Every structure is written in structure tokens, then in C-alpha cells.
Amino acid sequence: MADQSLPVSGTALPPGTKAPEFTLSATPDQTLSLAEMRGHPVILAFYPADWSPVCGDEVSLLNEVLPEFHRFGAQLVGISTDGVWCHAAFAAERKLHFPLLADFEPKGETARRYGVYRASEGVADRALFVIDAEGIIRWSYVSPLGINPGADGILEALEPLAPRTEGAAA
């Protein structure tokens, strides 16, 4: 609840900016690049670290809302400075159905490019970006580190972007 660690305001790349390319490890032997996801809206969820408490955990919430993101044709990736083995254990324990990318070496470089790196702590901000099918940032949001931003802003940003694939609902 305490909103210590307020975000460094105004450094996150704003809407209208071309999303910086990246290629990051998704598993110990696979990488994922932004370019590979072109053609669909992409949600980037930067977060400070794996293993925060579960019930109010942002990553777990986004995982639950994932089917709804898919209805908008969007892909979700999580990004933190944790390494691939940490991500693998975290994803398995939380039953995550989307990739976690390791912004590990050079540490935090992708977060830096998006303007959401906290150099003093060595972690990414809790920041969300919605990127359209052409690779343009359409929405970005940085929340205080201790506050889970929820998923409503993402859904709102996705609405105008993609033709809804009706009938895909479970």
C-alpha cells in the first residue's frame, strides 16, 4: 500500500514513438524479438522482479486475463532483469502461459531503451506498453513499484487497435 518508490516521471517512451527493437532470451535456449511479433498488437509488461507475493501479483493477474488479450489478437510478454532460470522456475510455479524475457545482459538494456530502468535499484519499473501491429507504441503507463496496475488500462488501449476475433471466447 505504501507508495514509496514513485516512478521516475516522464522518462517512459510516449505513445506515437516507434517501439525500440529487442531480442531477449525467453528460455535457456530460445530468444524472442519484437520483430517476430509484428503484425499483432503486443503488450510489454516490465516489472521489477520475479517472486512477488501471489494474490496481488501483477504477472499472475495478467496471466488470468490472457484469454481476453488473445481475443484482441494481442500477445503479452513480461520483461524483468531476472535471468532465464529464475524466469523458468517462476513461470512454472505460477503456471504462466506467456513468455518472460530476461533483460539480463547487458543488464536492463531494453528497459533503458524504453525509458523504464531504475538504475539505482538495478530493476525495471513497473511499466506497461501497448504496441500496435506496425510497431508503434500506442499507450504506455508507469505505476509506482509497489502498486499492481491491473489490466484495465491495457484492455482500454487494445480496444481501438484490433478487430475483435469474435467467437474466440471460451
Partner 1 sequence: MTRPIPPLAADDHVLGDPASAVTLVEYGDYQCPYCGEAYPVLKAVQSAMGRKLRFVFRNFPLVEVHAHALRAAQFAEAAAEAGLFWEAHDLLYENQDTLDDRSLVAFGDRMGLDRALLAAAFEGRHNEKIQRDFLGGVRGGVNGTPSLFINGQIYEGERDVDSLIEALSAAAMVRL
Candidates 68, 73, 88, 112; binder of partner 1 (CB under 8 A) is 68
28 within 8 A of 84, measured Cβ to Cβ: yes
Q: Is 57 in the site for partner 1 (CB under 8 A)?
A: yes
From residue 96 to residue 135, what is the string marking binding to partner 1 with x (rule CB under 8 A)? xx--------------------------------------
Candidates 6, 54, 89, 119; binder of partner 1 (CB under 8 A) is 54
Across the chain, which distance is largest between two alpha carbons, in Å? 47
- CA pair distance 112, 11, nearest whole angstrom: 9
Least distance (Å) from partner 1 to the CB of residue 87? 16
Q: Is 5 in the site for partner 1 (CB under 8 A)?
A: no
**Cα Rg of the chain (Å, integer):** 15
Nearer to partner 1, 34 or 66 (CB): 66
Least distance (Å) from partner 1 to the CB of residue 94? 6
Query: Is 86 considered catalytic here?
Result: no
Instruction: Centre a 10 Å sphere on the Cβ of residue 133 and count the other Cβ atoms it contains.
Output: 15
- CA pair distance 112, 12, nearest whole angstrom: 9
- CA pair distance 93, 85, nearest whole angstrom: 12
C-alpha cell at 160: 481501438
Q: Which of 2, 4, 53, 55 is catalytic?
A: 55
In the complex, the residues that contact partner 1 under the rule CB under 8 A are 1, 54-58, 60-61, 63-65, 68, 94-97, 148-153, 155-156, 170
